Structures are given as C-alpha cells and as structure tokens.
Structure 1
C-alpha cells in the first residue's frame, strides 16, 4: 500500500507508555507555557470529572473545552459494544486516580453485570500530520504533538499531574441475552475525592450477531515477526505463539476474516521496521528438483484459525514489490535469489513447480477453496501474466488484488479491493455479488481522509463503516494491524508515512481509540444491513427511505465540508429506534 523501508529495536513498559512520551524531534509547541498557565487559571475548580464524547481527542496539556456532564445516556442493541470517555482534569497533583464500575440494572432487576464493562486510562503517543502523504519524511519537518490513542485496561490507577487532562475510555458490551429496557448504574472516579457519575443505557430490542457471523469483510494485515520483536521472543517458539494468541483473538473479535501469509521473503520489499520472511521454505535440490517445506505455513495458518480467523488465506505474493525470490540452493550450499521478470519463460518455469505442489498441498489440507494468491498495487501486465499462469495450473485458483480498478481483469479477481478514489460501476458490483465475489476498498498513506492515522479524527473510522454500506461494498482493508515502529508505545511516527499508518493496536494487545472506532463502524454496517433486510421484508418503505437517504451523505468528497463526526451523528439515531 505505497510503502517503503526502515530499522529495529525495543519496547517500553506500560506505565512509561501511559505517562512518558519521547519528545525527540518534537517541534516547539504552538501554545507557550504562559498561555497554558493562563488557560488553567480560568479553570474554577481544582479538580474536575466529567463524561465527554468518544468522538474527540483531548490534549493532555490543556483543560478541555466542554460542558461538564455527570450522566452518560446511550443506546445499544443486544450484542453491541458502546463506549464513551471520562475526563479527569486538575490543577492539583492527583497521585492515585482509580475508576470503579457498578452493575447496570433495569426496573425489573435485570442486570448487565460489571464484568461486561471495562475502563482504561488513555495513553499518549507522538503523532505528526498528513501534509504530503506517502514518501520518506524527517520528523523535524512535520508538526508533532502528543495524542491520546492507547487504551490501557491493565493500569488500575494513574497519577494525574498538575495542569493535566487524563481521559479514561469506558466500554459496555451488552450480552446478547439482555432484556430490552433502560439500565442504570454508576461509575466512581476516586481522585482528590470520590466523584459519582451516572450511566443510563437503553438496550434496544434488536440483536447484533457475534463477530464471527458479521458479513463485513475486515482485512487488517497481520505481522507475526513484530510481535516476536517487541516481546523479545524467539520467532515461532511456543512463547511466540502464546503471545500472538491475544492479538489474533482481539482481531477476530473485531470481525477479521482473512489470514495474512507470506509465501516468499519480504513480499513488500522490506517496507516495515521488522522482517517479513516467508512461511514456506524453498529448496532447489542438487539434481535440479524443487522441494517446499510447508510446516511453518501449516502451523501458522492452523494457529490463526484457532483464534477465530477462518474465512480466507491470502498468500503474498507472486508479484512482490521487488522481484527477488530467495531460495536455498543445495548445489551451492547457500541461499540464492531468482530475479527474472514476471511473464518471462524463466519466471513461469520457476513458479510452475511451486504452484503445482502448493495446489496439491492446500487441497490435502482442505484449504484450497479459501486460499488466494494476493497482489498489492502491482502493474496490470504483471497481474495478467500471473493470473494466466495460475489458471494454467488449476482453474480453481482464486486471486486477491488491492489496487486501482482495472476493468480488463475485474472478472478474474475473486477478492478485489480498490483504493478509495475508485468506485465500482453499479452493474459490475451487482454482478460480483451474484457471483459471490468480494468487493472492498482501502485507504493507506495516500489519503488525508478518511483514514486511521493517530491524528485522524476518531469518527472517520466509524464513517468508513457507513461509507461501505452506502456504496454497497463488502468491507475494508488496511495494510497493517501491527507493523510496529521502533517504539510503538510512545512514538507512532514512521520514516515514510503519516503517524499511525503502520499499526492500529499496541504491544501488550492493547486496543486503541482508532481500533474501537473501527469496530463501532463495523457494528453500524451490520445494523444497517439487518435493518435494510427487515424494512424490505416487512415493506416498511418509509423507514427504508429514511435510512437510504441518510446513507447518501456518506461521500468522501463531502468530508471536505462536513466532519465525519457531524455526518455520523446525523445518521446514527436511525439505527437505535425501539
């Protein structure tokens, strides 16, 4: 996804993540210490606690510009997760801020138990700005700042220093068996004294299915080597697989459908901080025959499936960013690299035995029907050549492509993901649905909006779910779930793209504002899908017309004049009617 090259090292503790941010290469702040002091002097109370919207990021060094509110009123379907923020800001030193939560109870005595409610102190990371989008960048050329993004549910108390704002993320996961009605409870914030906040959650008599049954095709690319690095584990050791489980489970719980696998070394030309080696070992025997060791591929795929990601295996790639395929040459006793161009007789001769053997292996495992050869932003002649070769091996081979829309090859692509500047023609999209092909879209470093950078407005991620529904596409792809930077817990900036582009969650399997907002958008997509069907089945044309009319506002060009937060807010109420 228009990505390039880097370096490697270390991880910070969770407490350091929550309270320290490296200021290296940070530009001079826009607000001077005198101006900051003046703003805090205007705060009348020494310590303040209030609910706040989940749609904004609040600066750590500034008092929030909000009207204090001690009651959170929200609506949710059964099976849905909803969230808000609590802000604590103080002119005093609060050494041990804690948050405790009660059960939520309705008038009949039914409960949403507190085990379904979580709170997490938000941690701040360095971010920058969009400006030129893709391409190498030097941090000191970009305006940098701290931004709240990490949700740390593992920290049970927090120091809030004088003249500091500390957000807390609050989530409620409504069990599917919950009776409809209004549920009330409290959140207690223990700061300089105890502050009691009220929760009023209306549970709507509609049920959201579990993530495993969501239709939304989420594709966040996984990076197993990054997990080994930050946890200082031997790659593919038992400890490495144990560490990966929590990350892949949280991704499955977001509705992820696709397993990212590398069948060659560095399919993206080492554009990431960590290595991306092949899961398949290629060996050319002394007699010229080829053998392929799938043991790691099989172990990894089986492991990811055991975490709940089971629908598709995408194999990267026959068309990597650099045509350089590494294999072990027994005659030479060392690694060698094949570099012949795609489409040449030599290239086809190199790949034919592998594809023949791989096809047989996948069929033996029962995986062939859900496996694709995946390509990412490659030239059309190269893709045409690869498609032709694949079909000559087995007509059942499927192809995934993320890139520009090419009508010349559209019919050959099973899983087609177009860049956000493209739209499928209506007739093509309908035909693809009838053929059970997947039609999705993606963003990367090229788009200022909508996007999922650490500086992106949070509701842009919600907006994406609505846009997917509005355009009748099947889902959304983003190139990196966890391709972490050198110090991801403190600095989300990278050498080539806008901050946060390379990952959506944090070491320790910590969620983020961005990731939770992505899930919110997916839930909205699912609710829209179910309501459309209900309204059509019951011939409720007025309700369907209102929903379709609201969806028309979700055009990318409209984000230049109206924020994602505004557009989403205008439409959301249509999903939670009793």
Structure 2
C-alpha cells in the first residue's frame, strides 16, 4: 500500500512538473513547449489525417496564387487551378493583399520567399518597404453552436464541438520554414501603396524557394489608380476594437504598466492605429465585465476612501495608458467603462480599516448616486485639466433601457456636458442622450434619426459578437465576412463598426483560439508578437472600402453627380443579412470591390 501511494505521489508530482515546463491551452491540451511562445513556436497536431490517395497524385511541389477568400487546410490538397499571374487594383495610399499557396507530397526544407522589384512601364519603382509577407499559420478552432444560430454559451466540454486546425495567424517573424510531407502552406502578401505613388501598372513577382532552389516565380501586377486614400488617422471611419493591456502583460510575462509592458504593447497597438482605430478603451473601475475573459480588466483608476470619509481618486495609470495610445495616433476618443458593470459591485480601498471593501448598489439607489457623483466630479475636473474632457465618454454596453435612464440622470447631474457611449440594443427613448451609439448588426437606426445624428456630429455604428452566426470574425468564419461587415455598414449609412475584443487572448492564442464561453476566435483578432491574421487583414480591406465609398459619395454630392450616387447604392444593395448563408460573403465582396474601383 505504501509503495502504491509512493508511486502515485511520484506520478502526480511528475505530471505537475511537466505541466509547469510546458504550456496548456484553454481546453486542457498540453502544448509540448514552453508557455507563451513569442518568436518561434510549434503548432498543435492536426486532428485530421491527410488523404494519402489524394496526395499521391501530387507528383512534385506545386506553387500557385490562391484566393484571400479561402483558408487553405494544412493537410488537404488545395482545390485550385494553378495560377502564376495575378492582378490587383488599388488607390494611392491603400493596402492590398494576395495569398500564394505551396503544397507538396514530399517534405520541403527551408521554404522561403522574396519579392522582386516592382516597376511601372515608365521605370518608376514601388519602394521595397511597401511589400511585406508572412507564412499563414494554423490555430485550433471549433464551430458554431449545434443549432448553427450563433456561438454564445459556456463551453466547458469542447469534445462536444468539432475541433480542427484552421489557417489564420500571419507570421511575419518567420523568415523560412520546413513544409512537411502531404501539407499545404500559404504565404500572405501585402502591399502598402504609398500615397505619393504615380498612377500606373507596377509589375513584379513573388519568388518562392525551397530545398536550395527556386520553386516558382509568381507574377504580380498592381494597378494604382488616380484616387488617393488618406492616412488611417484621417479616415472618417469610426473603428472601435476594444483593447486589453492586461492580456499583453500576462502573455509576455512582464509587470503590469512597466516599461517592458508598454514596449510589448507598442507594435500591437501600432497595428491597430494603422487600421484606423479611433477609440481608446479605458477601465475606470475594477472588473467592468466581471472577469469574463482570461485576463480580468483591472481599474486604471485607484479608488480610495480616506479615513475622514471623503473620496480620493488617482489617475496615474489611466494617464499613462491614454498618453501611450495617443502617441501612437489613436487620439480621437476615450471610452471609459463602466458605470454599470455586469456585477453591480464597486471596489475601493478603505483607509480607515486598511482593507479593500465593496459597495453593492444599483443605479437609482442613493449609495450608487452618491458614489458616482463623487467620482464623476473628480474625473471631469481631471479630464479638463488634461484637455481630454471633450473626447472622453462614459461608456456602457448591453445594459437595459431602464438602467440606462437612471444612469444618465446621475451623469447629467454631475456635468450636463458629459458624452455617453452605448453598445447595445436601439432605444428611441435614450437615443438623443447617446453621443456614440453602437447597435447590433441586425438592427437599424430610423432614417430621420440617423440623419439628425449625422448633423449633430454623433457617431452611429453597429457591432457583432458571439450572437451572429454570420457575418462574423470567428477563426472558422469565411474570411470575406470580415470585409462584408463594413460594406454593410456603408449601405446602412453608418459611421463604422465595433468589435468587443481586439486582443483578449485565451491561454495560448497562437495555438488554440477556443475559449470556455464562446466560439473560437471570438475573443481576439490579432496574435502575440504583433502577428496579424487573415480575419484582421480582411477587416482592414472592408474598412478601406467603407472609406472609399464615403469619399466617393462626398465627391459625387459636391459635383451633383446623381448617376454616380446611384451606382454606389446599386453596388451596396446586394449586401443583405438575409442572404446568409446561401450567398457567400466572398461573392458579394469581390463584385463590390471591382465596381468601387471602377468608379
């Protein structure tokens, strides 16, 4: 008996030691490598075995241009006709993408790629810095709920859901890799056309090498038109992707708000700024969303009740965060969450007892009103001193109308000039009080209300979350859906789009996008190491399209070009939510993209 106990203890300690040495995903899968890899990492094994019969037909390594509408499976022979020439169209200042695919029955060592020079027929060259690329990596995902009506709900047992590896992360940090036998590997190509580029057709190529020889030369033409897309900071598009500084600190294993933390966040948030982000996400109280994500949102404001019973608020952390984001170019708005958290409990440090205490109170109750009146009075004074009051909003999400009405009374009593943001259902009763109103994608603002809000310089946007089966930005969603969303926003006459999670990473986001509460990828769009994703790149494509449509509409209105305006509305008329899932997003987006570029 003692021997059995000893062996059991030894096995248990050994298992604990093993787990401590390697990472573990949200679903309890050991990763076989150190936790939180940053530069190099190994993907999880593919649950699906390759079809050897199909791969035996592949006699030699194949390379072709593919489609940015498709996620090419790791162990499947790509179903595409080999294409060695590709043409793209772009405005000056626009970012355009392409996807190449390599597949082989045999292993390829040191697979890598380079770009040739891109020149016009006039001898003008695009700068080499305009071109970047990355190997498309694979991450574990799941699927919609079994009724296929959305991806919400607790998922404690992922064995009940499909598990598969899907292409999504774009790894720009990997300069070369080995392609294993019976595998496909995509390469994502981006060209950021400089705004000063002369119009014309620029020709060059993507050179793919492996096994110390050239495998293919893929020709690429980029036709640069006469129109110019402004820099992202100047876009009218109101992009609001919520940031999580806390996830970055955890994943990078650095102290919160340290120099190392800000250094780790800089490339991630620069990516966001380059996508046209307008809003800084700030948490002004502890756990506004009740720790629904892997990393809780901690308060950026210190709440302290002095021994004499008066309140003291320290804004040091919030100021550092806001200034950091503003220095990266995200400086149009600060959304502060939340006067109505998901759990109505407010944490503070009590000086008299030298302990942390909580006030449990709801809007409309005396204790709640007194607490938030004290905070808002202090906060508004601080913001005015910093010069931020006019761009700051008190922000809430998915709160009932009655609760919002009671909360608005407290806000207006503190200062009638406070701006308010809300992401949630449309309520006509409170709409006039909301400066930045984001409604679900399935709802619409009345036309007259939307026009009035536009004249009042208020923002009107929509959002998707785990609720919508499509369009959405899950790791298993069709890539074009990320672009489709912004075309639909343009059709509805909206200013932009909100997604609740830019980087609320699960435990091992590079390896497993699944989470305990929602469908895979719902909690984040980009990856550690400032790695982009297919979803994020297609989202930027849609944002640029929305901006182009805004520019064209304004131009046609100024010129009195009714025919041009009708063309835009005809193009956008094909974007209908009811068309899903029968009409793939790729069909509608591709057709609209060509039509917009032809105007």
TM-score of the pair, normalised by structure 1: 0.95
Q: CA deviation at 1:575?
A: 1.9
Residue in 2 that maps onto 1:182: 201
Report 1:205-220 matches (<5 A).
205-220=226-241
State the Cα distance separating 1:22 from its structure 2 match: 5.4
Residue 137 of structure 2, aligned match among 123, 143, 161: 123
Show the counterpart of 1:102. 116
Alignment partners' CA distance in 2, 1:125 and 1:79: 31
- For residues 277-426 of structure 1, what are the structure 2 equivalents within 5 Å? 277-426=298-447
In 1: Cα distance, 2:225 partner to 2:494 partner: 27
Q: 1:541: Cα distance to partner?
A: 3.0
For 1:443 and 1:108, the matched residues in 2 are separated by 46
CA contact (8 A) 1:55 1:458 kept: yes
1:486 and 2:535 matched: no
Residues 280-338 of structure 1, C-alpha deviations (whole Å, 9 max, x = no match): 00000111011001111111111111111000000000000001110000111100011
Q: Distance in 2 between matches of 1:88 and 1:7?
A: 31
Q: Could you report, residue by residue, the CA deviation over 1:246-279 in whole angstroms, capped at 9, with x for unpaired residues?
A: 1111100000000000000000010010121100
Q: Map 1:436-475 onto structure 2 (within 5 A).
A: 436-475=457-496
How do 1:201-280 residues align onto structure 2 when only pairs under 5 Å count?
A: 201-280=222-301
Deviation of 1:13 (Å): 4.4
Is residue 97–residue 158 contact of structure 1 (8 Å, CA) maintained in 2? yes
1:42 aligned onto 2:57: yes
Task: Extract unaligned runs of 5+ from structure 1.
Answer: 1-5
Is the CA contact (8 Å cut-off) linking 1:7 and 1:486 kept in structure 2? Answer: no
| Cα displacement (A) at 1:342 | 1.8
DSSP 3-state at the match of 1:501: coil
Give the conservation status (yes or no) of the 8 Å contact 2:349–2:357: yes
TM normalised by structure 2 equals 0.92
Aligned with residue 69 of structure 2, among 52, 55, 68: 55
| Cα distance in structure 1, aligned partners of 2:492 and 2:38 | 42
Instruction: Give yes or no for contact 2:510–2:527 (8 Å, CA) kept in 1.
Output: yes
1:382 aligned counterpart, secondary structure = helix
Aligned to 1:556: 577
**Which residue pairs with 1:155 in the alignment?**
174
**Quick one: which of 40, 43, 65 aligns to 1:15?**
40
C-alpha distance in structure 1 between counterparts of 2:362 and 2:121, whole Å:
71
Q: Which runs of 5+ in 2 are unaligned?
A: 1-25, 29-33
Q: 1:512 aligns to what?
A: 533
- In 2: Cα distance, 1:287 partner to 1:13 partner: 49
Local SS of the residue matching 1:20: coil
Q: Is residue 419–residue 442 contact of structure 1 (8 Å, CA) maintained in 2?
A: yes
Matches within 5 A, 1:540-555: 540-555=561-576
Say if 2:115 is the partner of 1:133.
Answer: no
Shift of 1:564: 0.5
Aligned to 1:173: 192
SS in structure 1 of the partner of residue 98 of structure 2: strand
Aligned with 2:598: secondary structure? Answer: coil
**Native 8 Å contact 1:7 1:273 kept in 2:** no
The root-mean-square deviation of aligned C-alpha atoms, in Å, is 1.5
What SS does structure 1 have at the residue aligned with 2:580? Answer: helix
Q: State the secondary structure of the residue aligned to 2:226.
A: strand
Q: CA deviation at 1:42?
A: 2.5
Please state whether the residue corresponding to 1:15 is helix, strand or coil.
Answer: coil
Whole-angstrom CA distance in 1 between matches of 2:56 and 2:562: 55
Shift of 1:560: 2.7
Counterpart-to-counterpart distance in 2, 1:40 and 1:15:
28
Contact 1:22 1:490 in 2 (8 A): no
CA shift, 1:542, in A, is 2.8
- The answer as to whether partners of 2:38 and 2:529 remain within 8 angstroms in 1 is no
Deviations 1:61-96, CA, capped at 9 Å, x for gaps: 001000000111111010001011010100111010
Question: Would the aligned equivalents of 2:151 and 2:518 in 1 still touch at CA under 8 Å?
Answer: yes
How far has the Cα of 1:472 moved from its partner? 0.3
Q: Do the aligned residues in 2 keep the contact of 1:22 with 1:126 (CA within 8 Å)?
A: no
Higher mean C-alpha deviation, range 285-294 or range 556-565 = 556-565
Q: Deviations over 1:455-500 (max 9, x none)?
A: 0100001111111110000010000100000000000000000000
Aligned to 1:3: none
Give a deviation string over 1:196-216, Cα, whole Å, max 9, x none. Answer: 111111111110000000011
SS at 2:565 equivalent: helix
Tell me, yes or no, if the aligned pair for 2:490 and 2:549 is still in contact at 8 Å.
yes
Matches of 2:207 and 2:154, distance apart in 1: 46
| Separation in structure 2 between the aligned mates of residue 401 and residue 96 of structure 1, nearest angstrom | 50
Partner SS state of residue 309, structure 2: coil
Identify the residue that residue 535 of structure 1 maps to in structure 2: 556
User: Aligned in 2, Cα 1:361/1:13: closer, same or farther, shift over 3 Å?
Assistant: closer
State the Cα distance separating 1:571 from its structure 2 match.
1.4
CA distance in 2, matches of 1:78, 1:326: 50
Query: What is the CA–CA distance in structure 1 between the aligned matches of 2:581 and 2:27, rounded to whole Å?
Result: 36
CA contact (8 A) 1:505 1:511 kept: yes
Distance, in Å, in 1 between the alignment partners of 2:209 and 2:159 is 40
Distance in 2 separating the partners of 1:113 and 1:68: 28
Deviation at 1:540, TM superposition (A): 3.1
- The aligned length equals 562
